Structure 1
Amino acid sequence: MRVRAVRSTLSRRVAAPLSVLLVLLGGCAADAEPAAAPAAPGTPVTLTNCGTPVTVTTTPKRAVTLNQPATEIMLALGLADRMVGTAYLDDTVLPAYAAGYASVPVLSKEYPSKEKLLEAEPDFVYASFDSGFGDEGVGDRSDLAELGIGTYLSPAGCAKQHRPAKLTVEHVFAEIRDIAAIFGVPDRAEALIADQRARITAAAGRLDAAQDVSVLWWDAGADAPSVGACCGTPGMIMSAVGVDNVFGDLTGSWADTSWETAVDREPDVIVLVDASWDPAAAKQTFLTRHSTLKDLPAVKGKRFVVVPFSATSAGVRVVLGVETLAAGVAGLLGEADR
């Protein structure tokens, strides 16, 4: 296990976590679309979202959210009273937002039909994934625009040509600012962002210094594991914590690889994504019973960190992913020192 060598590397790597955080939190990536400028309530807002011009001349009062990250960003900004519908949760809404969520009609367990959406008479639709505006969702953004319905898609869910080349925490904050500007509550965005910055800094600080710890982030797939690659939310969370992503050389948010490659890279810690349809406990059982994987040091040592699936999408839960991974790695390092 390489964590035995971690403590000896502290003196030469002590400055790394602060530099990582400054890169992650100090500014947008060069390819990011500019966030909407803060505006007073009622002020027209113009921005480019996923390559689509968005102009909001009247503050939306009847919004519908598709997907959990969009729903929780709205609730975190205190905008439940502007919502006439929501759909498609992956997990129970965070306790802090439960009361607000309970006041919003649930249009569908997954994506509502376009007809169901229009019954709610929305003036704005906000989705986290491009599927929300696809064939399985509520229809093209252009079609909704013709009906006088504004739209917004999370930058992390943009088509590839408009998606950030490498997602950072700052892209999440830019999205929060966009939504706050559209709904005329910029001060709420700044308060939320300040709180999340502080929590991310505190979480990374649990490791004291950048640790020479490698992490394999396993999302799904038994025959060909889908792992966190360089440029999506898993990579962003690992970078914020200051650990090494063993598959950081793979492009995209997620990538398929092989268990043979995973064994060759010998991760110190394995993140198990926990979802109702693919629980972390089942993943751990698979690893400990696999003829080859069971001898991997991380598996033999049960060096696992469980992260909820809902924390793997760009939104207000990213900070929970950072805190969970940082606490898990810090706990494993503490065990290794004893």
Structure 2
Amino acid sequence: MEVIFDCFFEETFLRLERSGLKTKQKRKDVIDHLTAIILGTSKGQNVTATETCTLAVISAINYHQRKKCENNNVCLMGKFHNVLYIGLKIAWDWGVTDSDVVKTLLYEIFQCEQNFERLFLGAIFGSNAPYFIAGWRSDFLDQDENIRALVFYLEHAKNARLEFPVYLNKYEGTKVLRFIDVPIESCGKASPMRVALQASSPDLLLTLLRYGANSNPKDGGMMPIIAILDKLVEAPSTQIHVETCLKILLKTVPAIEMPYKPFTFEHRKGIFIEKYEILFERGCIKQQQVFGVMDLKHLCRHRYTSCLIHWMNYIVCSIMYDSREFANQLSIAIWN
């Protein structure tokens, strides 16, 4: 079967111009053709379509690698790079279960682009918005499908413990980050969690945090909680989704850390109260969350949640699917 898919990519791409896969419709045409071959091959060889699709994804990766090797290990981009997004779409369509194959696919994309904005932007802003931000359209139907596809790849990245070396800035240098924390280039190199926060998307924020996104990413921006407080102060009566994001983030930290260092504590406290007085009055935040000690229930929940996320990431590769689903449901209950 591998030969069939190798021939498919060679013959299909031979007829395409260099920019032949630039548009969403062109990529869809190739995906539809490949899908028909997957169905026909799986029936003819009496194997599942998912297993056949896995071989098709491997062939897409191999084709990309061959073309890159022919060009002194530099990606030719254009149609030769978009073959990876053909593989990305069919892997989601058929529910590929081999995390090692998905790991290789994501690694190939990162080697060429140094980020995963084509996956994250569609989930955060919808299928059409990325065209105005980064100049391309998502291959997924709508924002809901984008989010479900993102969760699919987050799950595989977690199973494979996928990490990448990322240059952040001249102060932080290069850090090894997980797939979920790799900055988005076209959004000022902000982390996906921060972009979801700026978009006031509590559902996506909760999803990212459930999969272990860093609630205080080192991407050069201010602390996310302080950024939310500033947004609430600017428009206090029309920020329902922002308030929800704040409630979610407050569950991830033991307390709110005041900025304005290196002033004394009392000076910083005075500045903080003056700036966010309206939020204290509305009950968005409590003084004990900033200046005092949080109640034992909150501290225990925060510690337990942190331990649970670490535990799930540590053993998820060795437990059965049903057990992992139980752990996920337990984490949802804790967040709520």
Whether TM exceeds 0.5 here: the answer is: no
Question: Relative contact order, CA 8 A, sep 6+: which one is greater?
Answer: 1
* TM-score where L is the length of structure 1: 0.27
Larger radius of gyration between Structure 1 and Structure 2: 2
* TM-score where L is the length of structure 2: 0.27
Name the structure where helix makes up a greater proportion of residues: 2
